[in-house]
Amino acid sequence: MAAAPFDDELFRDAFEGALDPLLLVDADGQCLAANDPAEALFDAIDGLEGRLMGSFLSEAAFDASWETLLDTGRASGHWDVRLDEERRTCEFAAIAGLTPGVHLLALREAASDESSSDLLQYAEALAGVFETSPYGVLVFDGETVVAQNRHAGRVFDLDEEALTEAYADWELLDTDGNTMPADARPDRVAAETGSSVFDSTYGIAHDGHTQWLSVDALPVSEEGEVTRVITVFEDVTDSRERDRLSAMQNDRLEEYSATVSHDLRSPMSVAIGWIDIAIADDSTDDLDKAK
């Protein structure tokens, strides 16, 4: 299966584990990702990624449905899907703007007892999983934060408008505490290379303190060009501070151990010397000195 264009764990598990065919598509109806049931429905041996949904449907049916989706944010109904010489009637439900420019499409063969309204509710539930994820999500369009999920606002204690304005002015730090060059930011790297960046850690200096994040950055492409980058992050400030204090404690213990070892070494060496003399002389006269 093609990888989903973001790495939110809850959403990915729901997307990949769904029994119904699910696709993520861009504004033109081009498939960005498909789960296994979707690949099976379309008999897409070479994969669905990069293919236009309109190529499986009549142009009029697709255009009408997609216009409704982009205008209202929701669409549902029936499609006659062309598969070589075979046609299958499918119910579909679509949710627009799961993230900017990325839409969720759910399908089911019409023989199923489930209705398209059920599919629409299911798609809405998946969108809810994304929104209520325990991980923060920021969507970048070039330099600008254009969207965030609820948890991102909680992490920074800022609403979407305030975060969009503030992020551009914050100083970003690398793991050594040095100012991070702008082109080293995970979202910039993902946008420049077109490849995902995983487990990148950086600090954000704002409001008199530094907040540390562990970040995955995933590019979303349209027609081969990266148009936005989705970053999924976790606040690791507390765990980083615990690691710092633990390292300090270990350094102090090592220093104490070295001091104690040195203080004990000298008198022990003297005592051992007197014992060696007593053994060599076959006498106990020097044992009191050792004691």
| Residue range 185-242, pLDDT digits in tens | 888 899 999 889 998 888 888 777 788 888 899 888 877 788 889 888 888 887 676 7
Task: Give CA angle at 119 (118, 121), nearest 5°.
Answer: 65
Task: Tell me how crowded residue 220 is: count the other CB atoms within 10 A of its CB.
Answer: 22
Cβ atoms 146, 161 nearer than 8 A: no
* pLDDT of 2: 41
Cβ atoms 129, 7 nearer than 8 A: no
- Please tell me the least confidently modeled range out of 16-30, 114-128, 160-174: 114-128
Residue 89 CB partners (closer than 8 Å, separation 6+):
78, 79, 80, 81, 109, 110
What distance in Å separates the CA atoms of residue 107 and residue 116, rounded to the nearest whole number?
8
Average pLDDT of the residues of the chain: 78
Examine the pLDDT at 70 and tell me if it is beyond 60: yes
* pLDDT of 170: 80
Phi, psi of 86 (to 5 degrees): -100, 150
Q: Tens of pLDDT along 122-179?
A: 677 777 766 777 788 888 887 788 888 888 878 877 776 777 777 767 888 888 888 8
What number is the average pLDDT over the span 83-93? Answer: 77
* pLDDT of 291: 58
Q: Tens of pLDDT along 253-274?
A: 677 566 656 555 667 767 777 6
* pLDDT of 55: 82
pTM comes to 0.44
Q: Tens of pLDDT along 72-85?
A: 888 888 888 877 66
Beta strand spans in 176-224 (E): 197-206, 209-222
What does DSSP assign to residue 179? B
- Tell me the one-letter amino acid at 43: D
Phi, psi of 288 (to 5 degrees): -65, -35
- Tell me the one-letter amino acid at 166: A
